[in-house]
């Protein structure tokens, strides 16, 4: 069942947009007659001409809307200078109402163009169908028919222009939830390395569980890749790295490690490099983003360590890759555990908890319960120390000076961090990042 209808009048001539009442009446009558109960939300997209009075234009459309009782409270006219701005505004309206099935009524020649915008601004969460808007040459008659003509094929240059328009618009949006904040460890020398752990402030993601500096996009979430890219651009600008040389692990919840400069595995939870100016990163939204730095051999690494990766030894796998690939001495490697779910909040089924209990009984609280509390940070430290990392070269929540602590519990701080455990499936993601300075 269609939940929303988008009527695209953006490209119609100015003289038609100024005399649009008959056009709208025909379309709205068709929608109203064919709609189920409740009626869909309807968004009419019009081009806001430079220097035009938006309110005046909207007032001119009101007579066309008053006769449609079941639609009028569910109908909105969107005026925008660009298609990107109009669609992003409509996406916000859809997300506010948790709508995802949309019919688009538009001129035939706009379909190819519209699909490119939609592919960039929406994810697979949304379903779109298209109908053809046919306007007679005298602009007096309108037909809505199922789209039969071939889709318009856009050139590479056209797609690049659309992408540029979207990026420009997103870059113009204000930051949400305050300024962008980066947490840094005093253990990693800042004269050699650039590093940090992000929080959830200072980006443009607006969905409550993703707001605002979400740094991961997937087909199951509503934040598209272009929004995540804009958040990353803002992070890069604040931190001082090049987003074009940014590499994030490809999560598999295992222990594979990617060596920068060698063939990239299909998936991996650890990544290491000795290349200057290359920023590597690991995400976390309860799982631990772990950073590694060797100031002697000037090499670094990042790992994503969830409970499965912790048991599989992803952190030591990353250390071992630095040793074997770059000649690092394990005693020179510094390790920092970033914000992650703490033993105060994190539970696992008893069978999984047994494996942590075997590492150290202190990694498990209420062991005899069906879902004991688990300390994946403590388990990570124990495994690192067993592999030769010096205890004083590991920073986690055991630091005595809490002013130096950056290993906060993500579940306990909803104002600062994302948490899958707390927020459910549509959760946001923060990252830990590191690079070697030029």
279-313 confidence digits (pLDDT tens): 999 999 999 999 999 999 999 999 999 999 999 99
Percent of the chain with pLDDT over 90: 77
Q: Dump pLDDT digits (tens) for 239-282.
A: 999 999 999 999 999 999 999 999 999 999 999 999 999 999 99
**Among the listed residues 401, 191, 172, 415, the one whose alpha carbon sits nearest the alpha carbon of residue 430:** 415
- 163 and 190, same domain (yes or no): no
CA–CA distance, 151 with 158 (Å, rounded to integer): 15
Reference 355, options 372, 336, 337; nearest CA is 372
Looking at the structure, do residues 348 and 293 belong to the same domain, yes or no? yes
Average confidence (pLDDT) over 341-360: 97
Q: Is residue 326 part of a domain?
A: yes
Residue 16's pLDDT is 60
Q: Domain holding 113: CATH number?
A: 3.40.50
Same domain membership, residue 131 and residue 17: yes
145 bridge partner residues? 132
401-403-406-410 Cα dihedral, nearest 10 degrees: 110
- pLDDT for position 419: 98
pLDDT attached to residue 268: 98
Residues in the chain: 438
Closest listed residue to residue 333, CA positions, set 377, 297, 381: 297
List CB contacts of 153: < 8 A, sequence separation 6 or more.
112
Q: Is there a domain that residue 143 lies in?
A: no
CATH number of the domain that residue 401 is part of = 3.60.140.10
Band (pLDDT 50/70/90 cuts) for residue 234 is very high
Question: Where in the sequence is the domain holding 129, given as residue range(s)?
Answer: 4-135+159-171
Contact by Cβ (8 Å): 279, 242: yes
Across residues 405-410, what is the average pLDDT? 96
Domain-located, residue 21? yes
If asked whether residues 204 and 167 sit together in one domain, one would say no
Beta strands in 156-269 (DSSP E): 182-183, 193-198, 246-248, 257-259
Q: Report pLDDT for 65.
A: 60
Give the predicted TM-score (pTM) of the model. Answer: 0.92
Each residue's pLDDT tens digit, 147-178: 445 556 899 999 999 999 999 999 999 999 99
User: What band does 74 get if pLDDT is binned at 50, 70 and 90?
Assistant: confident
- For residue 138, pLDDT over 50 is answered with no
- 63 contact partners, CB below 8 Å, separation of at least 6: 21
From edge to edge, which strands make up the β-sheet containing 75-80? Answer: 75-80, 41-47, 4-8, 101-107, 127-135, 142-146
Query: What whole-number distance in Å separates Cα of residue 224 and Cα of residue 120?
Result: 7
Residues 330, 417 within the same domain? yes
How many domains, the chain?
Answer: 2
CB 59 within 8 Å of CB 21:
no
140 in any annotated domain: no
Q: How far apart are CA 103 and CA 124, in angstroms?
A: 15
| 248/335 same-domain check | yes
Does 243 reside within a domain? Answer: yes
Residue 107, domain member (yes or no): yes
């Amino acid at each position: 069942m269609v939940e929303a209808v988008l009527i695209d009048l953006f490209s119609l001539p100015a003289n038609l947009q100024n005399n649009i009442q008959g056009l709208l009446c025909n379309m709205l009558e068709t929608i109203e007659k064919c709609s189920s109960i409740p009626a869909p939300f309807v968004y009419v997209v019009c081009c806001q001409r430079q220097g035009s009075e938006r309110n005046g234009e909207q007032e001119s459309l009101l007579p066309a809307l008053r006769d449609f009782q079941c639609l009028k409270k569910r109908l909105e006219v969107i005026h925008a200078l660009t298609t990107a701005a109009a669609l992003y505004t409509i996406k916000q309206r859809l997300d506010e109402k948790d709508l995802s099935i949309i019919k688009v009524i538009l001129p035939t020649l706009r379909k190819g163009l519209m699909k490119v915008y939609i592919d960039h601004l929406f994810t697979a969460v949304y379903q779109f169908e298209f109908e053809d808007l046919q306007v007679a040459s005298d602009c007096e008659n309108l037909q809505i028919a199922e789209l039969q003509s071939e889709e318009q094929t856009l050139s590479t240059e056209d797609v690049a222009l659309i992408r540029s328009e979207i990026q420009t618009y997103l870059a113009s949006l204000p930051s949400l939830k305050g300024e962008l904040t980066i947490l840094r460890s005093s253990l990693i020398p800042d004269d050699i390395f650039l590093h940090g752990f992000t929080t959830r402030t200072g980006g443009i993601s607006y969905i409550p569980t993703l707001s605002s500096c979400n740094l991961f996009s997937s087909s199951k979430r509503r934040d598209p890749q272009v929004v995540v890219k804009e958040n990353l651009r803002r992070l890069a600008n604040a931190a001082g790295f090049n987003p074009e040389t940014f590499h994030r692990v490809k999560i598999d919840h295992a222990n594979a490690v990617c060596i920068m400069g060698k063939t990239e595995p299909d998936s991996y939870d650890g990544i290491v490099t000795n290349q200057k100016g290359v920023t590597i990163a690991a995400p976390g939204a309860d799982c631990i983003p772990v950073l590694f730095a060797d100031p002697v051999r000037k090499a670094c690494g990042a790992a994503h360590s969830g409970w499965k990766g912790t048991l599989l030894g992803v952190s030591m796998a990353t250390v071992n890759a630095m040793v074997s690939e770059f000649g690092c001495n394990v005693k020179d490697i510094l390790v920092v555990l970033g914000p992650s779910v703490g033993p105060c909040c994190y539970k696992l089924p008893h069978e999984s908890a047994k494996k942590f209990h075997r590492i150290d009984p202190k990694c498990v609280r209420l062991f005899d319960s069906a879902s004991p509390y688990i300390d994946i940070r403590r388990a990570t430290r124990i495994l690192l120390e067993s592999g030769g990392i010096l205890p004083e070269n590991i920073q986690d929540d055991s630091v005595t000076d809490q002013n130096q602590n950056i290993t906060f519990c993500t579940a306990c701080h909803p104002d600062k961090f994302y948490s899958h455990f707390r927020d459910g499936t549509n959760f946001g993601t923060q990252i830990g990042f590191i690079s070697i300075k030029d």
